[in-house]
Amino acid sequence: MSIKVILLIATTLYHAIACQIENRQTLPGQLIDIGGYRLHLCIAGKGNPTIVLDHSLGGVEGYFLIEELAKLSQVCIYDRAGYGWSDRSPHSRTSEQIARELDALLTQAQIKPPYILIGNSFGSYNVRLYAHLFPQKVAGIVLTDGLHETEMLKMPIPLKALKLFFISGFVMSVLGSILGIIRLLRICGIFERLKPELRNFSPNSLNWVKHSFCRSKHWMTMSQEMINLEISGHQVSAANNLGAIPIVSIKASSFFRPYFWTRFIPLKSANQLREKMHIELENLSTDFLQIEAKESGHFVWLDRPDALVKAVRILLNKINP
């Protein structure tokens, strides 16, 4: 038996044992059954309206923000089905399904509306559709470098190729997580090396986020959401007129902050697409405000979390003057 095979067996066993240990630990929130499968919900702070955050594609970044947001009002951070501590869902991973699952979760948890919804990146699709389906429950929306389907559905070929590259990476990461390779990379500090801004957050929130990335279901769900992105885009096209619901849209400076590896991707095309999307987003509501997160990449919640907190403050001042 070769050394490589022995090492893979060792990392796989170590990962399996680590998962068993983690599964016995106390959750940061609670698991709530929404019809045969459970979603993880973490609640902090007090006040009204309740802030509800929907993560980016593959993200569980709300844990980085929960402490600051809880200073403003009650905040709910939840793991979409397949992420974090949530069970996988038997249903398709599309924005309409995600929005309905979120409403079932909030109803079962007895979290009373109205809500301020935060949608990070792909989460912007989900919260827009939620506001379309349940407008009476929504007091305001924050879109964090949000997407718009009009431009996403006619994405240029270089960006479609980049999308396929990402999907292939997610699929490979399913195997990498099963074999314990991602857990090994976690131990080696690869997350902080790739994104030094992670060092600004508490050890607890870092561990909660890394917990999800080490699980194969995380990468399976991420692949499914990306594959279904066009279906979600067609679904959210119904949510292009949200009336007078107050919206604060945060615009990042660039899709990616410049790193050595950004030279190998069509960054110029990505930024041109973003500019067009932000113009489209302005038409969503008659009460729309755009603020800029200077020196931030698409991951505003890591690069400029203060901009996100500022956006929520603006909405709270509108709702509770």
Is the model's pLDDT at 158 over the cut of 80? yes
- 288's enclosing H/E stretch is strand 288-293
- The more confidently predicted of residues 192 and 261 is 192
Q: Which residues contact 32 (CB under 8 A, 6 or more apart)?
A: 38, 39, 40, 41, 105, 108, 109
Q: In whole angstroms, give the CA distance from residue 220 to residue 178.
A: 11
Can you state the percent helix, strand and coil of the chain, rounding each to 5? 55, 15, 30
Mean pLDDT over 172-201 rounds to: 91
Q: What is the DSSP string of 174-199?
A: HHHHHTTHHHHHHHTTHHHHH-GGGG
Helix (H), strand (E) at residue 217: helix 216-227
Q: If DSSP states are collapsed to H, E and C, what string results for 100-138?
A: HHHHHHHHHCCCCCCEEEEEECCHHHHHHHHHHHCHHHE
DSSP 253: S
Nearest to 150 by CA among 20, 274, 54: 274
Q: What is the mean pLDDT of residues 253-275?
A: 74
Mean pLDDT of 215-220: 96
Region class of 167: left (phi > 0), else alpha (psi between -120 and 50), else beta: alpha
pTM: 0.93
In whole numbers, what is the pLDDT of the chain averaged over residues? 92
Query: What's at 138, amino acid-wise?
Result: V
Tell me: the pLDDT tens digits for 126-142? 999 999 999 999 999 99
> CA–CA separation, 242 vs 135, rounded Å?
8
pLDDT at 108: 97
294: Cβ–Cβ under 8 A, 6 or more apart, which residues? 253, 304
Mean pLDDT of the 80-95 span: 96
User: Would you place residue 266 in the very low, low, confident or very high pLDDT band (cuts 50, 70, 90)?
Assistant: confident
Q: What are phi and psi of 9, to 5 degrees?
A: -65, -40
Question: What CATH number has the domain bearing residue 302?
Answer: 3.40.50.1820
pLDDT at 199 exceeding the cut of 80: yes
Q: What distance in Å separates the CA atoms of residue 143 and residue 150, rounded to the nearest whole number? A: 16
**Structural domain containing residue 228:** 3-319
Crossing angle of the two packed helices 95-108 and 123-133, in degrees rounded to 10 = 70
**pLDDT at 248 exceeding the cut of 90:** yes
160 pLDDT more than 80? yes
- State the total domains in the chain: 1
The pLDDT assigned to 262 comes to 60
Quick one: tokens of 72?
A: 């403003």
The confidence band for 259, taking pLDDT boundaries of 50, 70 and 90, is low
Contact 296, 274 (CB under 8 A): no
